[in-house]
Structure 1
């Protein structure tokens, strides 16, 4: 018989995965055939899996990725010039993130650049990295507002803590001269972020 106080204590300690697994074990006759150590190992495994799933969901919410893109659904049959071996190399534990490498996805409109970028970012999230997706216009607006209200360093520090920053629609329309002077180039944006950490 399952003790309700034990379940309540597990929930109070935020061991929700373990509590759920314990309820399942209480209703399973097969669990009775397992030793105490085996049942405990199953409870611990379930709790670890629950925590990892919760952390992944939190990273994905914070990432605000545009599309429900994932690397497993990339279509290599379309004539987009995708190098399958290169993409496979990039998705191997998202090593490019750990090595602080940048990826620029270039091509004509409609070939799936945003989807590919979001798919790589989604894989990075699954591998435990923090990700943030934004459109260039929104990023430049936020930078201009932060510069105006004096919070630029704070914004750059927040951006610098992100492992993968996906900036979409970088050069979608020509810039007027006044905006061109206030919008940083990619190397300048990266150096600004590094400056904020110095």
Structure 2
């Protein structure tokens, strides 16, 4: 009876994992050999773990990553210029907490988006908020929010995000309004929150891509000069995987 009352009290205190762990302990005779402090420590560990998992789930739901990628699966064997030591430093996520930027460039298929998602997941694992957005879709979303009056609120939400991933930079043309909106987004993030950009365009071509010289100068000043850079090389990893899969199927 006392056990049931204790578990109910734990649930009322919003400690459901701790209540479940207590019930499990009551069914395991070996736990009776543990001291009170040891049993309490196990209960607290279960609750902390459950809370961490719930928080991670919420962060992942908001992040909306394109790929289910993680740092443990990064492939360093492909000849694409990915330095293991430098990548390991980025995986620590210090650059995110310090509000720094990361630019990942390289030809199509070299794994830019996958790597960005892996680094974003690592940030979520450390309790940091992340949002993944394809730049062409972002501009479409901003046009809608200009129309319905929610543009300012949306900018405030993006500004509070610890890491904003902007994928496919340079894939589609940008109009003057798009360039100005991008400046607003990046200006809110300077020295406060981190931005990760992936692009097929070399950084040296970004000024021409942005089109408006004055605004382009302002954007690149906020984004490029002190950013970390990863320049991936080589052919498409997707094509290589397809060739391997075909070779496995075709016995000739």
**TM-score w.r.t. length of structure 1:** 0.88
Distance in 2 (CA, whole Å) between partners of 1:19 and 1:109 is 50
2:142 matches 1:135:
no
* Aligned positions of 1:18-167 closer than 5 A: 18-92=18-92, 94-167=93-166
Q: Are the equivalent residues in 2 in contact too, given 1:157–1:193 (CA < 8 A)?
A: no
Higher relative contact order (Cα pairs below 8 Å, separated by 6+ residues): 2
* Distance across 2 between alignment mates of 1:70 and 1:110: 18
Residue 190 of structure 1 is matched in structure 2 by 186
Distance apart, 1:5 and its partner CA: 2.9
Contact kept? 2:60, 2:124, Cα under 8 Å: yes
User: What is the deviation of 1:119?
Assistant: 0.4
Deviation at 1:68, TM superposition (A): 0.8
Report the TM-score when normalising by structure 2.
Answer: 0.70
* Runs of 4+ displaced beyond 6 Å: none
RMSD of aligned C-alpha atoms? 1.8
Structure 2: gaps (5+ residues): 191-252
Residues 148-175 of structure 1: CA distance to partner in whole angstroms, max 9, x if unpaired? 22222111000001001111112113x2
Retained in 1: the 8 A contact 2:123–2:129?
yes
Contact 1:129 1:163 in 2 (8 A): yes
Q: How far apart, CA to CA, are the structure 2 residues paired with 1:130 and 1:47?
A: 22
1:11, CA displacement in angstroms? Answer: 2.2
Which protein has the bigger strand share?
2
Give the match's secondary structure for 2:75. Answer: coil
Q: Report the number of matched residues.
A: 189
Structure 1 unaligned segments of length 5 or more: list them: none
Q: Deviations over 1:122-166 (max 9, x none)?
A: 001111100011111111111122222222211100000100111
In structure 2, the residue matched to 1:181 is 176
Partner of 1:9: 9
